Amino acid sequence: AQSVAQPEDQVNVAEGNPLTVKCTYSVSGNPYLFWYVQYPNRGLQFLLKYITGDNLVKGSYGFEAEFNKSQTSFHLKKPSALVSDSALYFCAVRDGNTGGFKTIFGAGTRLFVKA
Amino acid sequence: GAGVSQSPRYKVAKRGQDVALRCDPISGHVSLFWYQQALGQGPEFLTYFQNEAQLDKSGLPSDRFFAERPEGSVSTLKIQRTQQEDSAVYLCASSGPGLQETQYFGPGTRLLVL
Protein backbone atom coordinates (compact mmCIF):
# COMPACT_ATOMS: atom_id res chain seq x y z
CA ALA A 1 0.00 0.00 0.00
CA GLN A 2 1.11 3.54 -0.70
CA SER A 3 1.78 6.04 2.06
CA VAL A 4 3.25 9.50 2.50
CA ALA A 5 4.66 11.13 5.61
CA GLN A 6 5.27 14.81 6.16
CA PRO A 7 6.97 14.76 9.56
CA GLU A 8 6.67 18.49 10.28
CA ASP A 9 3.30 20.11 10.87
CA GLN A 10 4.90 23.53 10.57
CA VAL A 11 8.13 25.03 9.26
CA ASN A 12 9.25 28.53 10.16
CA VAL A 13 11.91 30.34 8.16
CA ALA A 14 13.09 33.91 7.78
CA GLU A 15 12.70 35.64 4.45
CA GLY A 16 15.80 35.20 2.32
CA ASN A 17 16.86 32.00 4.05
CA PRO A 18 16.72 28.59 2.39
CA LEU A 19 13.71 26.42 3.15
CA THR A 20 13.14 22.67 3.21
CA VAL A 21 9.83 20.88 3.58
CA LYS A 22 10.27 17.17 4.19
CA CYS A 23 8.45 14.24 2.62
CA THR A 24 9.02 10.49 2.79
CA TYR A 25 7.01 7.88 0.97
CA SER A 26 6.33 4.18 0.68
CA VAL A 27 5.22 2.35 -2.46
CA SER A 28 5.78 -1.17 -3.71
CA GLY A 29 6.48 -0.12 -7.30
CA ASN A 30 8.04 2.92 -8.91
CA PRO A 31 7.01 6.15 -7.20
CA TYR A 32 5.46 9.06 -9.00
CA LEU A 33 5.87 12.00 -6.62
CA PHE A 34 4.15 15.38 -6.58
CA TRP A 35 4.22 18.61 -4.58
CA TYR A 36 1.20 20.90 -4.34
CA VAL A 37 0.66 24.19 -2.53
CA GLN A 38 -2.64 25.39 -1.06
CA TYR A 39 -3.45 28.99 -0.27
CA PRO A 40 -6.43 29.87 1.98
CA ASN A 41 -9.82 29.23 0.37
CA ARG A 42 -8.22 28.02 -2.83
CA GLY A 43 -7.65 24.67 -4.45
CA LEU A 44 -4.34 22.90 -4.67
CA GLN A 45 -1.81 24.29 -7.12
CA PHE A 46 0.76 22.04 -8.75
CA LEU A 47 4.42 22.86 -8.02
CA LEU A 48 6.48 19.99 -9.46
CA LYS A 49 6.66 16.25 -9.98
CA TYR A 50 9.15 13.41 -10.28
CA ILE A 51 8.34 10.62 -12.71
CA THR A 52 11.72 9.38 -13.92
CA GLY A 53 15.15 10.70 -14.87
CA ASP A 54 17.12 13.40 -13.11
CA ASN A 55 16.72 13.21 -9.34
CA LEU A 56 16.62 17.00 -9.01
CA VAL A 57 13.34 18.39 -10.25
CA LYS A 58 12.73 22.09 -10.76
CA GLY A 59 9.26 23.53 -10.55
CA SER A 60 7.18 26.66 -10.26
CA TYR A 61 8.06 29.78 -8.23
CA GLY A 62 11.70 28.77 -7.78
CA PHE A 63 10.95 25.54 -5.93
CA GLU A 64 12.84 22.32 -6.48
CA ALA A 65 12.80 18.85 -5.00
CA GLU A 66 15.28 16.01 -4.82
CA PHE A 67 14.23 12.41 -5.27
CA ASN A 68 16.30 10.09 -3.06
CA LYS A 69 15.46 6.46 -3.70
CA SER A 70 17.61 5.00 -0.92
CA GLN A 71 16.03 7.27 1.69
CA THR A 72 12.59 7.15 0.04
CA SER A 73 12.40 10.91 0.31
CA PHE A 74 11.29 13.78 -1.89
CA HIS A 75 12.04 16.97 0.07
CA LEU A 76 10.89 20.32 -1.28
CA LYS A 77 13.46 23.11 -1.28
CA LYS A 78 13.90 26.73 -2.20
CA PRO A 79 17.20 28.63 -1.94
CA SER A 80 15.67 31.91 -0.75
CA ALA A 81 12.23 32.05 0.88
CA LEU A 82 9.70 34.81 0.26
CA VAL A 83 6.93 35.94 2.61
CA SER A 84 4.51 35.07 -0.19
CA ASP A 85 5.62 31.42 0.02
CA SER A 86 3.71 31.13 3.29
CA ALA A 87 1.07 28.47 2.62
CA LEU A 88 0.17 24.82 3.15
CA TYR A 89 2.29 22.31 1.22
CA PHE A 90 1.28 18.77 0.33
CA CYS A 91 3.41 15.91 -0.89
CA ALA A 92 1.66 13.14 -2.84
CA VAL A 93 2.61 9.74 -4.25
CA ARG A 94 1.21 7.42 -6.85
CA ASP A 95 2.47 3.88 -7.44
CA GLY A 96 3.60 3.84 -11.06
CA ASN A 97 3.35 0.06 -11.29
CA THR A 98 0.52 -1.28 -9.20
CA GLY A 99 -1.47 1.55 -7.65
CA GLY A 100 -3.53 2.60 -10.61
CA PHE A 101 -4.53 6.22 -10.50
CA LYS A 102 -5.04 6.41 -6.76
CA THR A 103 -2.97 9.26 -5.32
CA ILE A 104 -2.09 9.43 -1.65
CA PHE A 105 -1.49 12.83 -0.05
CA GLY A 106 0.42 13.66 3.09
CA ALA A 107 -1.20 15.56 5.94
CA GLY A 108 0.47 18.79 4.87
CA THR A 109 3.13 21.12 6.23
CA ARG A 110 2.35 24.74 6.98
CA LEU A 111 5.17 27.05 5.98
CA PHE A 112 5.55 30.43 7.69
CA VAL A 113 8.04 32.85 6.20
CA LYS A 114 8.74 35.87 8.42
CA ALA A 115 9.86 39.19 7.02
CA GLY B 1 -7.79 28.93 -20.26
CA ALA B 2 -10.55 27.69 -18.01
CA GLY B 3 -9.53 25.53 -15.11
CA VAL B 4 -11.54 23.03 -13.11
CA SER B 5 -14.70 24.55 -11.70
CA GLN B 6 -16.90 23.28 -8.90
CA SER B 7 -20.34 24.25 -7.70
CA PRO B 8 -21.65 25.17 -5.31
CA ARG B 9 -18.64 26.63 -3.51
CA TYR B 10 -20.41 26.35 -0.17
CA LYS B 11 -23.24 24.11 0.92
CA VAL B 12 -25.00 23.91 4.25
CA ALA B 13 -27.17 20.84 4.71
CA LYS B 14 -29.29 19.55 7.53
CA ARG B 15 -28.43 16.09 8.75
CA GLY B 16 -30.29 13.53 6.66
CA GLN B 17 -30.55 15.74 3.60
CA ASP B 18 -29.20 14.62 0.21
CA VAL B 19 -26.63 16.83 -1.55
CA ALA B 20 -25.14 16.92 -5.06
CA LEU B 21 -21.79 18.49 -5.83
CA ARG B 22 -20.79 19.31 -9.40
CA CYS B 23 -17.40 19.29 -11.10
CA ASP B 24 -16.58 20.70 -14.54
CA PRO B 25 -13.14 19.41 -15.55
CA ILE B 26 -10.70 21.04 -17.91
CA SER B 27 -11.92 20.51 -21.47
CA GLY B 28 -10.41 17.38 -23.00
CA HIS B 29 -9.23 15.86 -19.72
CA VAL B 30 -10.25 12.22 -19.66
CA SER B 31 -9.32 11.54 -16.05
CA LEU B 32 -11.37 12.93 -13.17
CA PHE B 33 -10.84 12.50 -9.45
CA TRP B 34 -12.81 13.29 -6.31
CA TYR B 35 -11.14 13.88 -2.94
CA GLN B 36 -12.39 14.66 0.55
CA GLN B 37 -10.35 17.08 2.64
CA ALA B 38 -11.20 17.27 6.32
CA LEU B 39 -10.12 20.31 8.30
CA GLY B 40 -6.38 20.26 8.89
CA GLN B 41 -5.83 17.16 6.80
CA GLY B 42 -4.58 16.28 3.36
CA PRO B 43 -6.95 15.33 0.56
CA GLU B 44 -8.19 11.74 0.72
CA PHE B 45 -8.92 9.90 -2.49
CA LEU B 46 -12.56 9.02 -3.04
CA THR B 47 -12.98 7.87 -6.63
CA TYR B 48 -11.57 8.06 -10.16
CA PHE B 49 -13.09 8.14 -13.66
CA GLN B 50 -11.54 7.54 -17.04
CA ASN B 51 -14.03 9.14 -19.41
CA GLU B 52 -17.41 7.84 -18.23
CA ALA B 53 -16.04 4.71 -16.60
CA GLN B 54 -15.60 4.70 -12.83
CA LEU B 55 -12.41 2.65 -12.53
CA ASP B 56 -11.73 3.03 -8.82
CA LYS B 57 -14.22 3.81 -6.08
CA SER B 58 -12.25 2.28 -3.25
CA GLY B 59 -12.12 5.54 -1.29
CA LEU B 60 -15.85 6.16 -1.03
CA PRO B 61 -16.51 5.94 2.73
CA SER B 62 -19.95 4.40 2.59
CA ASP B 63 -22.77 3.45 0.24
CA ARG B 64 -24.26 6.88 0.92
CA PHE B 65 -21.62 8.30 -1.43
CA PHE B 66 -22.18 7.96 -5.14
CA ALA B 67 -20.39 9.54 -8.11
CA GLU B 68 -21.20 9.62 -11.78
CA ARG B 69 -19.84 11.02 -15.03
CA PRO B 70 -22.38 9.89 -17.60
CA GLU B 71 -21.02 11.67 -20.66
CA GLY B 72 -17.36 11.64 -19.77
CA SER B 73 -17.15 15.33 -18.92
CA VAL B 74 -19.10 16.84 -16.01
CA SER B 75 -19.19 14.76 -12.84
CA THR B 76 -21.51 14.79 -9.85
CA LEU B 77 -20.74 13.54 -6.37
CA LYS B 78 -23.90 12.72 -4.47
CA ILE B 79 -24.12 12.18 -0.74
CA GLN B 80 -27.35 10.70 0.56
CA ARG B 81 -28.65 11.13 4.09
CA THR B 82 -25.79 13.41 5.08
CA GLN B 83 -24.15 13.00 8.48
CA GLN B 84 -22.12 15.50 10.47
CA GLU B 85 -18.94 13.55 9.75
CA ASP B 86 -19.46 14.29 6.04
CA SER B 87 -18.58 17.93 6.71
CA ALA B 88 -15.42 18.60 4.69
CA VAL B 89 -14.14 20.24 1.55
CA TYR B 90 -14.74 18.12 -1.54
CA LEU B 91 -12.11 18.61 -4.20
CA CYS B 92 -12.32 17.64 -7.83
CA ALA B 93 -9.28 17.26 -10.09
CA SER B 94 -8.79 16.41 -13.74
CA SER B 95 -5.85 15.32 -15.84
CA GLY B 96 -4.78 13.76 -19.11
CA PRO B 97 -4.92 10.01 -19.56
CA GLY B 98 -1.49 8.88 -18.34
CA LEU B 99 -0.36 7.85 -14.87
CA GLN B 100 2.36 10.48 -15.00
CA GLU B 101 -0.05 13.30 -15.76
CA THR B 102 -0.46 16.23 -13.37
CA GLN B 103 -3.82 16.61 -11.67
CA TYR B 104 -5.33 20.09 -11.77
CA PHE B 105 -7.64 20.90 -8.89
CA GLY B 106 -10.79 22.92 -8.61
CA PRO B 107 -11.43 25.34 -5.72
CA GLY B 108 -13.52 22.78 -3.84
CA THR B 109 -16.98 22.70 -2.33
CA ARG B 110 -17.12 23.28 1.41
CA LEU B 111 -19.91 21.15 2.87
CA LEU B 112 -21.21 21.79 6.36
CA VAL B 113 -23.74 19.34 7.76
CA LEU B 114 -25.66 20.63 10.76
- pLDDT per residue as tens digits for the range A29-86: 889 999 999 988 778 999 999 998 899 999 999 999 999 999 999 999 999 999 999 9
For residue A95, pLDDT over 80 is answered with: yes
Residues A74-88: tens digit of each pLDDT? 999 999 999 999 999
Termini Cα distance of chain B: 37
pLDDT at B61: 94
CB contact under 8 A, A100 and B43: no
Residues A96-105: tens digit of each pLDDT? 776 678 899 9
CB contact under 8 A, A101 and B99: yes
Question: For A101, which residue in chain B has the nearest alpha carbon?
Answer: B99
Q: Is residue B72 exposed (0-12), middle (13-18) or buried (19+ Cβ within 10 Å)?
A: middle
CB A45 within 8 A of CB B112: no
pLDDT at B1: 55
Q: Evaluate the omega torsion of the peptide bond into residue B70 and state whether it is cis, within 30 degrees of 0.
A: no
pLDDT at A99: 60
User: Average pLDDT of B18-24?
Assistant: 98
User: What is the rounded distance in angstroms from the CA atom of residue B75 to the CA atom of residue B25?
Assistant: 8
Question: For A44, which residue in chain B has the nearest alpha carbon?
Answer: B105
Asked if B41 reaches chain A (Cβ–Cβ under 8 Å), the answer is yes
Number of continuous H segments (helices) and E segments (strands) in chain B: 0, 11
Residues of B in contact with A101 (CB under 8 A): 31, 33, 48, 50, 55-56, 99
Asked if B4 reaches chain A (Cβ–Cβ under 8 Å), the answer is yes
pLDDT at B111: 98
B54 pLDDT band (50/70/90 cuts)?
Answer: very high
Question: For B42, which residue in chain A has the nearest alpha carbon?
Answer: A107
For residue A9, pLDDT over 60 is answered with: yes
- B2 or B49: which carries more pLDDT confidence? B49
